[in-house]
Amino acid sequence: MTSNVPISSNIPSTKDTAPFYLYIIEGSIITVFSTAMTLIILLTPKFFRQKEYMLLAFNVMFDAFFGLQYLLSGIHYLTVAVSNEFVPLVPRLACYSRVSVLLMIFVIPGMGLMAMANALDRLFMITFIGKYKKFGLFYPICIFGVVLLCCLPTTITALITVLAAPYELVQGNCLVRSAIPNWLYIVLRSIRIMTTLIAALLYLPILIKIRKTLKSSGAIEGTQRKQFKLTSTIAFITKNCHITVQS
């Protein structure tokens, strides 16, 4: 059986393409700025040698993945809408194989897990700042590696479920929930929501601790001040980028 099945559904293609252009514009902006910031940190020696900025670079790298997924999805949605009177049907494997779908399967849980890892890192830093200072560059690499490993089970499960029925026909606009079973899509979303909520809750004792520290000491060390500013920066990234929910 071929992978190019010339069959259309009875669902008319949408004539409202404005959302797809917004996908493309938003995805392009996020991708360009996040990639640029990541490269600046990784290619600037004074930033590269500091674990805090390396951790920030990995965060922004996830944002770049997210932006690229948005951009590629928008281009595909727009192409399907303007090229077909009715939404075409394609094999599930063809949808799954699209870069935008593969990125989304990885990014949905990955950004939530990264948000939780950030919060745990900041909590450890604010609680045991002396021990935290002793960590080297291997520390943020380990955090990033653990997040990637935690994404593997759902990523592998998605592949297995697709290979179980590779030629089952799905809508050609290739939404993630069409490319993979609905239960797995719910699992991915649940991981994203739960980890992001945990991260948000962890920031409460962090902010309380920072407030107490600032109140109890009239002047704080430059290093500690930098850590507090970085904590606020990472919390801002978490708030603005990790709670985004795509339909």
In degrees rounded to 5, what are phi and psi of residue 227?
-65, -40
Q: For residue 77, tell me if it sits in a domain.
A: yes
pLDDT band (50, 70, 90) for residue 96: very high
Q: For residue 200, tell me if it sits in a domain.
A: yes
Q: What proportions of the chain, in percent to the nearest 5, are helix, strand and coil?
A: 75, 5, 20
What pLDDT, on a 0 to 100 scale, did the predictor assign at position 104?
A: 93
> Could you count the other beta carbons within 10 Å of the beta carbon of residue 124?
14
The CATH number covering residue 205 comes to 1.20.1070.10
DSSP 41-84: HHH-HHHHT-HHHHHHHHHHHHHHHHHHHHHHHHHHHHHHHHH-
Q: For residue 2, tell me if it sits in a domain.
A: no
- Distance, in Å, from the CA atom of 183 to the CA atom of 178, rounded to the nearest integer, reads 11
> Does residue 21 register a pLDDT over 50?
yes
At 4 the three-state DSSP class reads coil
What's the whole-number average pLDDT of the chain?
A: 84
Q: For residue 41, tell me if it sits in a domain.
A: yes
Domain that holds residue 28: 8-241
What pLDDT, on a 0 to 100 scale, did the predictor assign at position 129?
A: 80
The residues pairing with 12 across neighbouring beta strands, listed in sequence order, are 86
Which tops the pLDDT comparison, 141 or 220? 141
Q: Is 112 in contact with 190 (CB distance < 8 Å)? A: no
Which tops the pLDDT comparison, 182 or 226? 182
> Does residue 223 register a pLDDT over 60?
no
What pLDDT, on a 0 to 100 scale, did the predictor assign at position 243?
A: 47
What is the arithmetic mean of pLDDT over 51-63? Answer: 88
Q: For residue 82, tell me if it sits in a domain.
A: yes
- Distance, in Å, from the CA atom of 171 to the CA atom of 174, rounded to the nearest integer, reads 6
Q: For residue 1, tell me if it sits in a domain.
A: no
- Distance, in Å, from the CA atom of 183 to the CA atom of 79, rounded to the nearest integer, reads 28
Number of domains in the chain: 1
Which tops the pLDDT comparison, 23 or 127? 23
pLDDT band (50, 70, 90) for residue 233: low
> Does residue 221 register a pLDDT over 70?
no
- Distance, in Å, from the CA atom of 89 to the CA atom of 168, rounded to the nearest integer, reads 9
Q: For residue 247, tell me if it sits in a domain.
A: no
What pLDDT, on a 0 to 100 scale, did the predictor assign at position 48?
A: 87
pLDDT band (50, 70, 90) for residue 164: very high
> Does residue 232 register a pLDDT over 50?
yes
Q: For residue 112, tell me if it sits in a domain.
A: yes
